[in-house]
Chains A and B, each alone.
Chain A
């Protein structure tokens, strides 16, 4: 019985983790005209802090989840092509030139609040957690970045 319970719990956690990993990520911006014109290929430039202004001259404020968050790891792998732990040299180099890494927050709710309240901000959350406070402009699904909203199954 104990083994069965352990197996059941393991299956539940593993299933939840897989569902977490498989869920699409939405890239969110404020309901702002410039940010809504975001091209997919600009996203990595923004998160590498190579592109710091929207088309109209507004400063871009990218926000990250903390470095161990599963969504951050997935986003970093797909968009930046590497994991946060291997980016130390890059960020130290950019800091030397006066540019700091994107802001970092602890939860997806904090990302949504940051984006909703900060002009020029951009962030990413689980696509099922997007609400009316922000606007989703790009999606990451099956390790691919796309401008088309995927079919979401938010019931899991």
Chain B
């Protein structure tokens, strides 16, 4: 495992050194359009490192993820996209010191896309489940906080293997976006805390303008025997009011057996304090039949060091103990490349 891990880290580092990053607001890509097959490839990714000082557990630091994104497109209607993630390659805690026993490789996304018409695209493969906003933009350099709202990861699967139809259309100076998807292949097993789902299908609609609002509709079932089928409805929004960004998501699941299916919501504000510092506050509530209920509050500050780099610090509190939502101090550095 040691040698394999070293090889993976060395390979990732070599690729980063050798490949020109596709990031940088398009400036680096200017005036050239792919003409040969090889020209169509570009490589990017992101990485993050965290420090967690929880109230009830030992201090832990970790390189959380090193993610590589490979995409291909040319002038045709096909596109390819893949994301391979090395999760928790190095962790440190007070008891075990440095360790990489929690490291694993995860194929986050792998799909082919075909443009069917001006307003419709077909995607086939493994993709992020189109539910709300956070799940689709969950990478550390894209979100203001180190911790993730519980409701965005526990009530539905983060990824789906299947087919997706999506597109957008203009609607009175707004963009109306629509996505329909269905699972066709069973999900892979990742870690002990992950809830496994099957028979997942649904749709997401959003209207994007000054206030971006979205509606998620989904049917799903947990893989464990005798799990009821769920129907889920979700609402999400994001708006900018001068220096204040407000966002939120809420979900409610109806169980086919008439019992409680689970629900949750969060609301978050990010206020631009100046000099690329952002003050953060978040309130969230979560409740599920399997995991009980939890409330969380969060205050923190994030500094945008560069357009692709975030330094985050936050304090989280509230009720209920859940493995993915520690209470205490969380800090992290995240970079998109």
Q: Which of A's residues lie within 8 Å of B, judged by CB?
A: 39, 41-42, 44-45, 48, 50-55, 57-59, 61, 63-64, 66-67, 81, 86, 88-89, 91-93, 95-98, 100-105, 110, 114, 118-121
Task: Say whether B137 contacts A101, CB under 8 Å.
Answer: no
| Chain B residues near A81 (CB-CB < 8 A) | 209-210
Task: Say whether A103 contacts B31, CB under 8 Å.
Answer: yes
Task: Say whether B79 contacts A98, CB under 8 Å.
Answer: yes
Whole-angstrom distance between the Cβ of B335 and the nearest chain A Cβ: 11
Task: Say whether B31 contacts A114, CB under 8 Å.
Answer: yes
Task: Say whether A53 contacts B77, CB under 8 Å.
Answer: yes
Task: Say whether B75 contacts A59, CB under 8 Å.
Answer: yes
Judge if B33 is at the interface, Cβ distance under 8 Å: yes
B74-111 interface with A by 8 A CB criterion = 75-77, 79, 81
Task: Say whether B170 contacts A100, CB under 8 Å.
Answer: no
Interface size class of B (residues with CB under 8 A): 35 or more
Smallest CB-CB A-B distances: 8 pairs: A41-B170, A101-B26, A98-B71, A50-B168, A98-B81, A103-B30, A88-B307, A104-B26
Q: Which of B's residues lie within 8 Å of A, judged by CB?
A: 22-23, 25-27, 29-33, 42, 44, 46, 69, 71, 73, 75-77, 79, 81, 115, 118, 136-137, 139, 141-142, 168-170, 173, 175, 177, 209-210, 240, 304, 307-308, 336
Partner of B25, one of A41, A48, A67, A114: A67
Task: Say whether B31 contacts A100, CB under 8 Å.
Answer: no
| Chain A residues near B115 (CB-CB < 8 A) | 52-53, 57
Task: Say whether A93 contacts B142, CB under 8 Å.
Answer: yes
Give me 28 A-to-B residue pairs in the complex whose CB atoms sit less than 8 angstroms apart, sorted by A's number: A45-B169, A45-B175, A50-B175, A50-B177, A51-B118, A51-B168, A57-B115, A59-B75, A61-B33, A67-B25, A81-B209, A86-B240, A88-B304, A93-B136, A95-B22, A95-B336, A96-B46, A96-B137, A97-B81, A98-B69, A100-B42, A101-B26, A103-B26, A103-B32, A104-B25, A104-B27, A104-B30, A105-B31
| Chain B residues near A95 (CB-CB < 8 A) | 22-23, 44, 336
Q: Which residue of B lies closest to A34 (CB)?
A: B118
Task: Say whether A92 contacts B210, CB under 8 Å.
Answer: no
Partner of B22, one of A54, A55, A100, A114: A100
Considering the chains assembled together, what is the distance between the CA atoms of A66 and B168 in angstroms? 27
Task: Say whether A102 contacts B26, CB under 8 Å.
Answer: yes
Q: Which residue of A lies closest to B304 (CB)?
A: A88
13 A-B pairs besides A53-B77, A92-B142, A118-B33 with CB distance below 8 A are A41-B170, A51-B118, A54-B118, A66-B27, A86-B240, A89-B142, A95-B44, A96-B69, A96-B137, A97-B136, A98-B73, A98-B81, A103-B33
